[in-house]
Amino acid sequence: MNKIARFPMLVLSVLLLFALPALAATLPKADRSGAVRLFAEATGTFLAGSDNEIQHLLDETLVKNPYFIDAYLLRSLSLRRQGRLAEADRYLASYLEVQQADEVVQRIRNQIQAESQSIEKLLRGEFHPDQFLLLQTTPSQSFGLPFWRVPSLESPHQPTQAFGKLFVSDLAKKRIHIFDTQEKGGSCSVTFNIPSSPRAILPLRENSFLIIDEEGHVLKGDSKEKTLTATDFPMLPVSRLADAAWVAVDQILVADWQERNLRFCQLSTGAVLSEWTPSSPEERPLFDPVALSVWGPYLAVADRGNGAIFLLQLPELRLIRSIPFKGPRDVLFFGDAHCAAILDDEGKITICDLLEGTIVQILNEQNPSRKLWALFSENETLKALTFDAREIYQWSPLFTSEQWPLFIVTRDFEVVQNETSEVLQFEIEPFGPQTYLMSAMVPVAGATWLDKALEPRVGPLRETIKDDVPFLLTATADHASDLPLLRLPEDGLSDAFIDKVSDLRPSGLVLDGMFHLSVPEANLLLSHCLVRGIPIHLWAHHVPTELEMRLVRATGGSTFFSSELMGLVRRKEYVLRVEIPLQKDLLPEGRLASSLFALYIDAGIFSGRSWFPLSNPSRIKPR
């Protein structure tokens, strides 16, 4: 190198010699050992389940060592468990900028993005079944009853399933029968004799319901006390009732086949809020509304006289469309506004998208049965009862074109020392839009530690009934309810509010229908509840919105129309107990990503996966 070429290098060296001390003075000092201690504590806290405490510990970790990249990964896992999926994705992106070759974290990010997309689809109502699983059964088998204890019915009318009970009217014998669908080995809860033919049963809550007879009298029943009493409600303004349906608290729809109209009524006063009959002079005299079905802001009417299905908008009773349909016997929304089942005189069940006005498929096109008499549903499972009430046909929807996500809610981590090694013991609750199918399909659980199988021991699926005391999510304290209140802040549902919900760990949330959530608020709430296993219920003070109905649908919640909301809410819970042997030679060391193990469940129609750090399993403590 000549002298001219060496001169710039010499100048650069001199400049760096004087600049390096100044640069060193501005670089933050890292307390690496202190950061490791705090991070280890945050890892144990993650498994103990306290996400808010984790965030504080990770903040302190990064203060001690701003370059501690694993803190970004653990923060993301914690944010994901709170349902804050967008934030979780951003922290994973920051982690992957440094650790670009980390395939494990890339898989975690892919799953979080898929979960986020699925939640958006749930809120838009874009999940539709493409297959149905048929199961033919009997009331005796469905309710765990000896056949001689199943009451005989002559003309079952408009069965209704809600709050773990099936209500069936018998018009000919002037009776109603109530089956408990949650207590296996139970009996018909109660049979009531009615002075006049019972045309509609309107469930209120766990044990109470209203009965409306064909003349418009309103009675109140209690299935637990086995009592039937008169109410203060006036007679409804009908000549001959065909059917009735809840719309909101103190608001119902009644169909009058003699007057040939629909009336939207206030139950407490009998006042008619609005009225509808076909506008066509040809259709009006033939209008015969044999069945009603309500899903949030939509009403479907089966008109036997005109051979049509009418779809109307609530509460204004505005006609959306009329669909010609020969001989409709019953109509029922199930799952979503885009799914309605229509039973005709030939015994065929046709699935229609009433919003689009299109036929999707005929469930029993090859073998229709004229024995099928009335439709009802539980969750998203469609059921049909025969005219003698001796058989039940059940169609469960399957989503084979795209697997629905299954959220794995974990609890009670504990490491136990047995004779040969340490064993990680915990329970998981599969949760999501289709967990009600768990009892029909045995899930397969597995676990991996990086590329090594952990061969978990999984106990049998336990199906139990859980009594919850949910929180009432409301903007006001002025309510006839004994539920604990969770006040919505003035600035709406935000990340700070989700932090508060995380600390409370509610077993359920009841949305007060007095206020409406925005789409971003609903997305955040649904994300949190799905990853935490929290059902969302709705107290329908006004006509529910599509958004509210889809929140309830996605989490398996219930809709309440009672003017008072008291006591417990019962729901089915599915639990698996898992044991994983922890061989000491397999315990990983080093970066957090190398210490994660993946727990996954495959139930055929849906799958789920969660990742947990176990770099030091001895720190795990039960909750």
What per-residue confidence (pLDDT) applies to 503? 83
- Gap between the Cα atoms of 61 and 204, Å rounded: 52
CATH 2.120.10.30 fits domain 131-398? yes
Contacts of 444 (CB under 8 A, 6+ apart): 601, 602, 603
Q: Where do the DSSP E strands lie in 289-335?
A: 289-295, 298-303, 308-313, 318-324, 328-334
Instruction: Tell me: pLDDT of 556 over 80.
Output: yes
What per-residue confidence (pLDDT) applies to 13? 46
Contacts of 260 (CB under 8 A, 6+ apart): 277, 284, 285, 286, 287, 288, 289, 305
Nearest of 183, 153, 180, 148 to residue 167 by alpha carbon = 180
Section 185-192 average pLDDT: 67
Q: For the packed helices 70-81 and 51-64, what is the interaxial angle rounded to 10 degrees?
A: 160
Mean residue pLDDT of the chain comes to 85
Instruction: Tell me: pLDDT of 218 over 90.
Output: yes
Instruction: Tell me: pLDDT of 11 over 70.
Output: no
What per-residue confidence (pLDDT) applies to 177? 87
* Confidence category of residue 251, pLDDT binned at 50, 70, 90: very high
Residue 290 CB neighbours (<10 A): 19
* Confidence category of residue 10, pLDDT binned at 50, 70, 90: very low
Nearest of 400, 516, 423 to residue 127 by alpha carbon = 400
Instruction: Tell me: pLDDT of 3 over 70.
Output: no
- Written as six digits, the tokens of 425 are 């013991």
Choose which CATH entry (3.30.70.260, 1.25.40.10, 1.10.10.10, 3.40.50.300) describes domain 28-123: 1.25.40.10
DSSP per residue, 545-576? PHHHHHHHHHHT--EE--SSB-S-EEEEEEEE
Section 473-488 average pLDDT: 86
pLDDT in tens, 498-555: 888 888 889 899 999 888 889 999 999 999 999 999 999 999 999 999 999 999 999 9
pLDDT in tens, 384-403: 999 888 888 999 887 766 66
Residue 207 or residue 183, greater confidence = 207
What per-residue confidence (pLDDT) applies to 206? 82
What per-residue confidence (pLDDT) applies to 144? 65
Residue 465 or residue 588, greater confidence = 465
Section 6-34 average pLDDT: 50
What per-residue confidence (pLDDT) applies to 302? 97
Helix (H, G, I), strand (E, B), or coil: what is residue 128?
A: coil
Section 210-221 average pLDDT: 94
- Gap between the Cα atoms of 315 and 515, Å rounded: 17
pLDDT in tens, 115-167: 999 999 999 988 888 788 888 887 777 766 666 667 777 778 888 988 888 89
Instruction: Tell me: pLDDT of 583 over 80.
Output: no
Listing from the earlier edge strand, what are the strands of the sheet with 175-180?
Answer: 156-162, 165-170, 175-180, 188-193
**Which residue is it, tokens 């859980």?**
466
- Gap between the Cα atoms of 312 and 28, Å rounded: 66
Helix (H, G, I), strand (E, B), or coil: what is residue 115?
A: helix
Helix (H, G, I), strand (E, B), or coil: what is residue 85?
A: helix
Domain regions of the chain by residue span: 28-123, 131-398, 404-465+573-619, 470-567
What per-residue confidence (pLDDT) applies to 188? 60
Instruction: Tell me: pLDDT of 2 over 70.
Output: no
Residue 458 CB neighbours (<10 A): 18
Cα 263-266-272 angle, rounded to 5 deg: 40
Q: Which class does domain 404-465+573-619 fall in?
A: mainly beta
Is 28-123's fold the same as 131-398's? no
Contact between 162 and 179 (Cβ < 8 Å): no
Instruction: Tell me: pLDDT of 4 over 80.
Output: no
Residue 513 CB neighbours (<10 A): 21
